[in-house]
Amino acid sequence: MSDTDSTTAALPSNQQPDQQPDQQPDQRPPRPPLDNVMLAMDVVDTLRRKKRLVDQELDVSGREQDLKQRLRKIYAAQGIEVTDAILEEGVAALKEDRFVYKPPEDSFAVKLARIYASRGVWGKWLLGTLAALAIGVLAWQALVVAPRKALPDKLETLHAEVVKLAIEDSADRQADSLLSTARQALRDDDTGRARALLGELEQMREQLETSYRIRIVNRPGKRSGVWRVPDVNQSTRNFYIIVEAIAADGSNPRVPIRNEETGEMERVKTWGVRVDQRIFDRVAADKQDDGIVQQNIFGRKQPGRLEPEYDVPTTGAAITSW
C-alpha cells in the first residue's frame, strides 16, 4: 500500500477531509423572527380584522391556499417572514376559536370578582355615603344627644342662680315651680317642654340682673299718654302713661313686658302703664303747662326683683302698642 493510501485510510469515515477534528456542527435550528405561538396569534388577529377576506376564502372549498398566499403578502409587506406551518396554525386556530376569550360562567365568585373590579366606580359613592353618615351621626350627637344629656344639669344650675339673685319670695316660688315642671317634662321624655322652661328660667335670671329707671316719654312728636275703650265694656276707658327704661349709662334698653291685651311677653323700649284717670289728667296738665313733663320719673326696677316698682298707684298692667 502506498503512502497516499495509508493517509486516506486513517481518516474517520464521517469526517470530510477539509474539516478540522475539533469542530462540531451546530445542531440548533435557526431561531424564527417571532415566537411561533405569538405569530400564530397575530395571524388569527389579522384574519379577524379582515373579516370580509376570511368569509370569502374559508367558505369556499379549495380557496384556503389563496388565503394563505394573501396573508403571506401582508406579512411580507411588514418585513415579517411567515412559514406555511404558521399560516396553517393560524387558520386552524381561527376555525377552532382558539385564542378567543370565553367569559367564565356567571357564578357567585365571578359576581364578587366583578364587584371588586368595579370598586373604582362604586367605591367613591360608598366612601361618600359613609362620610355623610359619619357627619350625620356626629351632628346628631353634638346637636341633639349632648344637649339633651346636659339639659338636667343646666336646669339645676340655672335654678340655683335665679334663687341666689332673687330678693323676694315670689321669685323663689316661681323658680321652684318652673324647675319642678321641667323635671316632670324630662321624666315624660318631653325635651321640647323642658327646653322651653329652661328659656323661662333664663329670662327670669336676666330680669333679676337688670336695673333701670322708668321715665315718662317726653319728646316732640311722641305721646306721653293714651286711652283705650275696652271691648268688654264700651262705656268706660282705660288710661295709660307711656314710659321707657333708662339704664345707669343713659341707654334705652329693651325690657320684657307682658301685654295685657294679648297676654304675650314682649321685649320693648317703651310701653304704656295702666293708671286711673286722676294720674292721667295730672300728667296731661303737667305737659300742657309748658310742653315738658316736670315730674317725669315714674318708677324704677331694682336688681333681684322681677317687676318694676312704680311711684304712682297702678295694677302693673301694660300695653306695648297704641
Which segment of 7-11, 153-157, 158-162, 186-190 scores lowest on mean pLDDT? Answer: 7-11
Rounded to whole angstroms, how far apart are CA atoms 35 and 316?
109
Which segment of 24-33, 184-193, 238-247 scores lowest on mean pLDDT? Answer: 24-33
Task: Tell me if 224 sits within 8 A of 262, measured CB to CB.
Answer: no
Task: Tell me if 307 sits within 8 A of 256, measured CB to CB.
Answer: no
Mean pLDDT for the stretch of residues 152-170? 93
Rounded to whole angstroms, how far apart are CA atoms 242 and 224?
5
pLDDT confidence of residue 38: 67
Which is it for strands 238-246 and 225-228: parallel, antiparallel or unpaired?
antiparallel
In the chain, % of residues over pLDDT 70: 75
Give the confidence band of 28 by pLDDT, cuts at 50, 70, 90: low
The DSSP symbol for 232 reads T
Reported as a single tens digit per residue, the pLDDT across 95-150 is: 665 555 667 777 878 777 777 777 777 777 888 888 888 898 888 777 777 777 88
pLDDT at 21 over 80: no
Q: Which residue has the higher pLDDT, 248 or 19?
A: 248
Kindly give the residue spans of alpha helices, DSSP state H, lying in 19-118.
36-49, 51-58, 64-77, 84-95, 108-117
Mean confidence (pLDDT) of the chain: 79
pLDDT confidence of residue 299: 94
Look up residue 19 and give its amino acid: Q
Reported as a single tens digit per residue, the pLDDT across 135-160 is: 988 887 777 777 778 899 999 999 99
pLDDT confidence of residue 13: 42
pLDDT confidence of residue 281: 94
Task: Tell me if 265 sits within 8 A of 258, measured CB to CB.
Answer: yes
pLDDT confidence of residue 48: 57
Look up residue 6 and give its amino acid: S
Rounded to whole angstroms, how far apart are CA atoms 211 and 255?
10
Reported as a single tens digit per residue, the pLDDT across 49-84 is: 555 555 555 555 456 676 677 777 777 777 777 777
pLDDT confidence of residue 242: 96
Question: What does each C-alpha distance from 101 to 36, 97, 104, 314 come to in angstroms?
Answer: 20, 9, 9, 100
Phi and psi angles of residue 100, each rounded to the nearest 5 degrees, phi first: -105, 130
Instruction: Tell if the pTM clears 0.75, that is, is over it.
Output: no
pLDDT at 268 over 90: yes
Task: Tell me if 289 sits within 8 A of 303, measured CB to CB.
Answer: no
CB atoms closer than 10 angstroms to residue 88 = 14
**34: Cα separation from own chain's centroid:** 59
pLDDT confidence of residue 110: 74
Which residue matches cell numbers 304712682? Answer: 312
Rounded to whole angstroms, how far apart are CA atoms 139 and 124?
22
pLDDT confidence of residue 58: 52
